[in-house]
Amino acid sequence: MGDKPSGMRIALVLLVGVTAASTAAVFVRLGYAAGEGLNDVGVGLALAASRLTFAGLLLAPMWYRTRYEARPAPGANWYALGAGIFLAIHFASWVPAFAFTSIAATTTIATSSPVWVALMLWLWQGEVPTRMTIAGIAIAISGAVVLAWGDAAGAGAGSNPLLGDALALAAALGFSFYFLMGQEAQRRGISTTRYVAVVYPIGAAVLLPIPFFVGPHYGELPGMVLFYGLMLALVPQLIGHTSFNWAVKWITPTIVTLVILLEPVGSTLLGVIVFSEVPGWTVLLGAIILLAGVAIAVVGRDRGQQPETAGSVLESEKEPRPSSDVGDRK
């Protein structure tokens, strides 16, 4: 894997990554502006579809690099297929959410996926969370309530804030399923390179037909809408998430996940600078509480997974550490 880079280099890459990821909200809003007068939901779905399509096309050469890889264990490809479908659901919910509520609300709620992953692992796999994780989940949910209350009271921007919040929550749940299925696919032997090259085209295939039924279809869209879809693929998707996936090779995924929690902060600041979109104090308070709860839950889960014996360390090293947990949200 080569010599470990310096801490300064890792920090710089993470800074570039979170800055690039934070631009996603700006490109989405610019895409909506380019499609002004058209069905907002249809424009949002077209942006989501074009983002995954361009990302899949740009990553197509990665197929060549994986042509000699060993065949993965049974079921791995099915989990990758499921991950691609849920990634499509994530983007089909997340991008339209911006049409109805503020950048701060959308990005913060959508970043809550670690909380839902912890709950899903508890309910389905019996992975009992630590007390710290449970406390973080409770804090995050209370923050979401405060944020939604602030949105409903008109403290946020958007034509239907509660609908936007619901879509952002659906995006977080979709990403949680995507993460769990992607993790299992990689545990069954699919490399991260092949996994990304498979999942993006699957997500694109799911989303591409939808604008033809919802409208406007692609021929009715201004060219700038597709341009912003391309920018979404280039900057937050490839630059942002490639930075996170690189960093997770050298530092714990928990640290990378905590850094990603800065994305809503960056998105909100860019929203203020570019669109003069200043969220209300109740929305900001709820967002801060929610992100604090997510951070506590992430740290608590990491502590609960610390090996206690040398034997457990050896067991934990038998499986590769998947990097999909930090890769593909925004």
Q: In sequence order, which residues have a C-beta less than 8 Å from that of residue 196 and are 6 or more positions away?
A: 59, 62, 327, 328
Confidence at residue 24, expressed as pLDDT on a 0 to 100 scale:
97
Residue 53: inside a domain: yes
CA dist., res. 226 & res. 216, Å (int): 13
Q: Which two tokens stand for residue 238?
A: 């490839």
Residue 291: inside a domain: yes
230-234: which pairs have CB atoms within 8 A and are 24 or more residues apart? 230/50, 230/54, 231/23, 231/27, 232/24, 232/27, 232/28, 232/31, 232/47, 232/50, 232/51, 232/54, 233/50, 233/51, 233/52, 233/53, 233/54, 233/55, 233/58, 234/54, 234/58
Residue 277: inside a domain: yes
* Structural domain harbouring 290: 7-326
Residue 290: inside a domain: yes
CA dist., res. 272 & res. 260, Å (int): 20
Residue 2: inside a domain: no
260 closest CA partner among 284, 277, 240, 239: 240
Residue 249: inside a domain: yes
Read off φ and ψ for residue 312, nearest 5 degrees. Answer: -70, -30
Cis peptide before 216 (omega within 30 of 0): yes
Contact 42, 242 (CB under 8 A): no
CA dist., res. 149 & res. 279, Å (int): 13
Confidence at residue 48, expressed as pLDDT on a 0 to 100 scale:
96
330 residues of the chain, pLDDT tens digit each: 567 888 899 999 999 999 999 999 999 999 999 999 999 999 999 999 999 999 989 888 877 777 677 788 888 889 999 999 999 999 999 999 999 999 999 999 999 999 999 999 888 888 888 999 999 999 999 999 999 888 877 765 677 899 999 999 999 999 999 999 988 998 898 887 788 888 999 999 999 999 999 889 899 999 999 999 999 999 998 999 889 988 887 888 888 889 999 999 999 999 999 999 988 899 999 999 999 999 999 998 877 765 443 333 222 223 334 444 444 556
The domain total for the chain is: 1
Residue 191: inside a domain: yes
